[in-house]
Amino acid sequence: MSDTRQINLHVFRHNPLDPASVPHLQTYQVEEAPGMTLFLALSELRERQDPSLAFDFVCRAGICGSCGMIVNGRPRLACRTLTQELPGDITLLPLPAFGLIADLSVDTGTWMRAMTERLQAWLHPADPTLDLSRIEQRMEPQLADEIYELDRCIECGCCVAACGTAQMRKDFVGAVGMNKIARFGLDPRDARSDADFYELIGGDEGVFGCMTLLACHDVCPKELPLQTQIAYLRRRMARAGA
């Protein structure tokens, strides 16, 4: 058909384990189809043109956060990015700030686990004894909804990749880390106080390292209110540390 578009995918290629590999961009041509996402384009490319191309997709529905990559200069979830929204030349780079596995595949898992361990980013129950046969504790419905709002983070790494501080400080916890502290701080089931959270994020690797560039907020695929949460946390931490 005459109205189908040929798109040029300029894809970052590098295999760090191969001493002969030199990082470069490789260009592929793909015929655009209606409703084509970058997931479909890359999958077709691997099935038909280059089976060696490495990239990560899991849910391909914008839910799991596996496929963060830099699409024409901006961190995005590739699986739900429609090619029709982009120009005919599309440059795909792996997310910075994470270890490169190969091509577009990066190791977000190690980063996220280390951050979670450092921030002890799990619920610390106020009452650790629990009888599972008893009726659950109550919670205000509105509060449950507000906690879920912050719980929607999918640890895709887009906020870290877009963050100026994270590029300079390896130990910076990023918006993803601060959002987790905000989430557990909001949860009455968590026993920790602001003084406890201050020990975790009250330094330059936490809230006081943020330069307020707010790219994290702009690129978050889940549209989490990161700007508000960081600002609010910073005020609370300033108070807790005083």
Partner 1 sequence: MKIVYTDVLVIGGGLAGLRVAIGARRRGLDALVLSLVPPKRSHSAAAQGGMQASLANTVKGEGDNEDVHFGDTVRGSDWGADQAVVRMFVNTAPKAVRELAAWGVPWSRVRRGDREVIINGQRITLTESEQAHGLLAQRDFGGTRKWRTCYVSDGTGHAMLYAVGDQAIAHGVPVHERKEALALIRDGDRCCGAVVRDLASGELIAYVSRATVVATGGAGRLYRVTTNAVICEGMGAALALDTGVVALGNMEAIQFHPTGIFPAGILVTEGCRGDGGLLRDAAGHRFMPDYEPEKKELASRDVVSRRMAEHIRKGHGAASRFGPHLWLDITQLGRTHIDRNLREVKEICRYFLGVDPAEAWIPVHPAQHYTMGGIRTDASGQCPTLRGLFSAGEAACWDLHGFNRLGGNSVAETVVAGMIVGEFVADFCQGPDGEINVPTGLVRDAVAAQQAALDALIGGGDESADAIRIAMQQVMTDRVGIFRDGRELAVAVDELEALLLRSRRIGVRSEGPGPNPELVTAYRVQRMLKVALCIACGALARQESRGAHYREDFPRRDDAAWLQRTLATWPDPTATRPTLAYEPLQVSTMELPPGWRGYGERNHIEHPDTPARAATVEATQTAEQLSRHALQERLMPYRHLLPPSLRGDNDRLGDLPR
Position among 25, 144, 211, 238 found at the interface with partner 1 (CB under 8 A) = 144
Distances from the Cα of 222 to the Cαs of 110, 158, 216, in angstroms?
A: 22, 10, 11
Enumerate long-range contacts of 135-143, CB under 8 Å, 24 or more apart.
137/189, 139/188, 139/189, 143/186, 143/188
Q: Which of 13, 64, 218, 225 binds partner 1 (CB under 8 A)?
A: 64
**d(C-alpha 4, C-alpha 217), whole Å:** 35
Site string for partner 1, 36-55 (x = CB under 8 A): -x--------xxx--xxxx-
Site track for partner 1 across 161-180, x = CB under 8 A: --------------------
> Applying CB under 8 A, does 113 fall inside the site for partner 1?
yes
Is residue 145 close enough to count as binding partner 1 by CB under 8 A? yes
Which CB atom, from 6 or from 140, has the smaller least distance to partner 1? 140
Which residues have a Cβ under 8 Å from the Cβ of 133 and sit 6 or more positions away?
A: none
Write each residue from 177 to 216 as x if it is in contact with partner 1 (CB under 8 A), else as -, in one continuous string.
-------x--x-xx--------------------------
- Contact call for residues 128 and 177 (beta carbons, < 8 A): no
- Contact, 238 vs 198, CB < 8 A? no
Instruction: Pick the binder of partner 1 from 32, 60, 70, 219 (CB under 8 A).
Output: 60
